[in-house]
Amino acid sequence: MKKVLLITHHETSNLGIISKILSKKYLITSIYFKNIKNLGSNELLGYSAYIFFGGKMSANSQSEVINNEFIFLKKLIKSNKLIIGICLGAQLIAKIYGSKIYKNKNDLVEIGYRKLDKINEKFFKNVSSMLQFHNEGITYNSHMSIYAKGRNFEIDAFKIKKKKIYGFQFHPEVNESMIKNWYINLSPIKKGTDSLSKILLDHKKNCEKNYKWLSNFLYKVI
């Protein structure tokens, strides 16, 4: 049975629907990145796939944790591993390949369900909207195949050419409790943020289709 490593950026991270989907077919392990001791261990490099989740920190941070994460990602890339980045995870991947991570010039954020501006219609078949929850975006680099564009931010989804590496600025993994917890901890609430009631209503409209899409994607690539 294939093994999948889920890398989080909070000690008490909720893995959302991803753990439910993956546990049906794979052995999954989750780890708080800050607790990783040996970035080059054979055990750590022995997984079939790696999923990097989001977090409050910026990919532009000069912290030891973020710098170590770049080192770890580069090892995985060199080993031709399957890598999936969500939000911060996607930004870290993009930055390695030359993208800039930036704030919106009008200080806008994206928090709420937003319709995907699909470039690859086949990849996003049967889904229309995904939850956005971020205040920084990704610029294009020549290593990317863009799968979806953003509105207030340039890129929503991409694949690295000739690699098994995917990046999603949005959050396909969310469940209702995650949304509530994230929203409660918002401070301050900036322009571009939907009300909690609207987000939860939109979640109910989209969650079933997004669950099926995420399941199909993960089972196909892993």
Q: Which of 9, 87, 110, 136 is catalytic?
A: 87
Q: What is the pLDDT of residues 80-94, one digit of tens each?
A: 999 999 999 999 999
DSSP three-state, residue 156: strand
CB 108 within 8 A of CB 152: yes
CA 38 to chain centre: 24
Q: What is the pLDDT of residues 10-24, one digit of tens each?
A: 876 789 999 999 999
pLDDT of residue 10: 83
For 3-221, CATH number? 3.40.50.880
Q: Which of 9, 134, 143, 171 is catalytic?
A: 171
Above 90 in pLDDT, residue 157? yes
CB 22 within 8 A of CB 172: no
pLDDT of residue 35: 81
CB 82 within 8 A of CB 74: no
Nearest to 136 by CA among 89, 183, 97, 179: 89
Answer yes or no: 207 catalytic: no
Can you give the pTM of this predicted structure?
Answer: 0.96
Above 80 in pLDDT, residue 37? no
Task: Indicate the domain borders of the chain.
Answer: 3-221
Please compute the mean of the pLDDT values over residues 57-67 and round it to a whole number. 92
pLDDT band at 38 (very low <50, low <70, confident <90, very high): confident
Please compute the mean of the pLDDT values over residues 147-174 and round it to a whole number. 96
Q: Buried b vs exposed e over 187-219: b needs ≥16 C-beta within 10 Å?
A: eeeeebbbebeebbebbeebeeebbebbbebbe
Tell me whether the omega of the peptide bond preceding residue 188 falls within 30 degrees of 0, making it cis: yes
Please compute the mean of the pLDDT values over residues 195-210 and round it to a whole number. 97
Whole-angstrom CA distances from 7 to 14, 15, 34, 72, 190 are 11, 10, 10, 11, 28
Answer yes or no: 134 catalytic: no
What are the two backbone dihedrals, phi and then psi, of residue 206, each rounded to the nearest 5 degrees? -110, -15
What average pLDDT does the structure give for the chain? Answer: 94
